[in-house]
Structure 1
């Protein structure tokens, strides 16, 4: 069995159709095993025999649309891909917090990968790298000024559309810890 994380885009816990119990119910209905969730922002974990990731993404997304009306987008990663990302230590010496908001933006499997890293369009954003194994941009965002929002996320949305979803580094660490639990 392979362990996976389905990272859903556009989940709002205040929407009753987006509650973790309903999201887990959809994945269980697909025959996925050991379905669980991390936080209330669309991080679903499960096991299944090894599968083609784009097919798995499409199957989950189709079920979410048909059963709950959720159209946000689904990105799937294996435990091995996420563990490899953590082990690469892309943010050495940094701690997630105000001024150093550590983010990971996952591209949907099969999405156009960048030929080179984007240049920072905002002085409050430092693109650290692109991890090809996890298919993810890594960035440090300075969000210490509540009156100014960096535009990196808007650039990613304009460039990749709904084929992305972003998590904090802390959330990725939590997902991996739960996937590795017995």
Structure 2
């Protein structure tokens, strides 16, 4: 209900952060009403759906920074969100930062392939509990030509796949890989002028 009110009365809103429970219907109402948003961060999403992501993609053409979190296992989700992520990346052409925190199975290797194919302008990517296998990360490493920062937490990728990713992504300047509260890898790549 709160998101519907915001969508009705805050038409010129450009930045929105919400750290309470939000349903997919609330996200749809916000996207329909606040077409000028360029920053959207919604944590504790419940009942997230590909449909809601498609509404965001259709209505928020100025979106540059999109951060979603839906990790509660008992909340219903329309997973995987592969089609929703594809819609976001094809509909929001200005998107430079994408943070996705989902429960396991929320985004598959197919979704990582969509990020590779359509994430042309991404400079920052943060993934938590994303992917199924090394193949997804290797596929991701073949795209995103502007990517400078990658953060991963609790993703099922081997050290070999992460190494392949680092060597394939020439634009990459910083990578952080975490497992639980333990940092597995933190790497900064510096440019040297000769």
TM normalised by structure 1 equals 0.27
TM normalised by structure 2 equals 0.26
The structure with the largest strand share of the pair is 1
Higher relative contact order (CA 8 A, sep 6+): 1
